[in-house]
Amino acid sequence: MLINWREIAQKIYDDIKNQVEKMENKPKLVVILVWNNSASLRYVAQKHKWAEYCWIDYELVHLDENISQEELETIINKLNKDDNVSWYIVQLPLAKHINEIKIIDLIDPKKDVDWFHPENQWKLLIWDESWFVPCTPAWIIEILNDFNIDFNWKKAVVVWRSNIVWKPATTLLINKWCTVTSCNSKTLDISKYTKDADIIVMAVWKPWLLTSDMVKKWSLIIDVWFTVIDWKIYWDCDTQEIDKKWCIITPVPGWVWAMTVAMLMKNTLKSALLNK
């Protein structure tokens, strides 16, 4: 069964819109875009579209992709000091010549509505989810919550290694008392773990890495990414074959953006409410 994210995301957007409509001072989100790759441009367009829908003020700072590390750092420092900017995000990934870790490190943690700064990620590690959760891991949990599943005894496998999806998703599942296994490209036989898993999170960018013989019946599979080769879309999971096993699967693309952006709007609203 493929999950109908459209309904889940729309409900979140409508809920945010209802709350923001009643606010005297509308929340504002600033988005820094440095690298013009097609995925980032689409992401940013979605952020603009849904911010407008939710009545959230939106400003795009579109920088030249050849900007130097020093110039970008100067802009980040200025945003940190600018009292008119309460929250901003730097769209990732950044161009190869930019040191991404250094840039994330420079973002003022109090203005970091993506929750990527080490200080904020640390809060998750110490089981504090009362502030925010990075957007992609946040919707992974939101979708699992939507199924009303009891996390307590579930075996979860998270495949890949990244700071913005894999690590926080792993942490959140641990916080929920799942028994979590983390796999990556050096894992010798991923199927050994996925075959036994109740929840599988794939965020790999590797076409059809997860096939139907690697999963058990009724597992919940969250497929975060896809790859485009010769204009054809390949999911991390062989969605059609796995679907025959009555697994519950998220369809990508499209709604990965919708859900991630919905969580960003949620974080922006929450920041505004906490700081009012």
Cα separation of 212 and 224, whole Å? Answer: 17
d(CA 27, CA 86): 9
- Of 89-97, 176-184, 197-205, 220-228: span binding ligand GUN (CB under 6 A): 89-97
Residues 96-125 that bind ligand GUN (CB under 6 A): 114
User: For residues 93 and 227, what is the distance between their CA atoms, to the nearest angstrom?
Assistant: 16
Helix residue ranges per DSSP H, the chain = 5-21, 38-53, 69-81, 100-106, 118-125, 135-146, 166-175, 190-194, 239-243, 255-275
268 part of the interface to ligand GUN, by CB under 6 A:
no
Binding part of the chain for ligand GUN, among 70-78, 90-98, 137-145, 177-185 by CB under 6 A, reads 90-98
Shortest reach from residue 196's CB to ligand GUN, in Å: 29
Q: Do residues 220 and 144 touch, judged by C-beta distance below 8 A?
A: yes
Assess 136 for contact with ligand GUN (CB under 6 A). yes
33, β-bridge pairs: 62
Two tokens, residue 180: 């979590």
Kindly state whether residue 252 participates in binding ligand GUN, applying the rule CB under 6 A.
no
Q: Which range in 3-11, 64-72, 87-95, 188-196 contacts ligand GUN by CB under 6 A?
A: 87-95
Alpha-carbon separation of residue 264 from 9, 21, 98 (angstroms): 12, 17, 24
Nearer to ligand GUN, 41 or 149 (CB): 41
Residue 44 and residue 57: Cα distance in Å, rounded?
14
Residue 260 contacts ligand GUN per CB under 6 A:
yes
Per CB under 6 A, does 271 bind ligand GUN? no
Tell me which of 23, 63, 92, 95 binds ligand GUN, using CB under 6 A. 92
**According to the binding rule CB under 6 A, does residue 89 interact with ligand GUN?**
yes
Q: Which of 8, 91, 151, 242 binds ligand GUN (CB under 6 A)?
A: 91
- Segment contacting ligand GUN (CB under 6 A): 22-30, 86-94, 122-130, 223-231? 86-94
CA distance 133 to 25: 24
Chain positions contacting ligand GUN, by CB under 6 A? 43, 89-92, 114, 135-136, 260
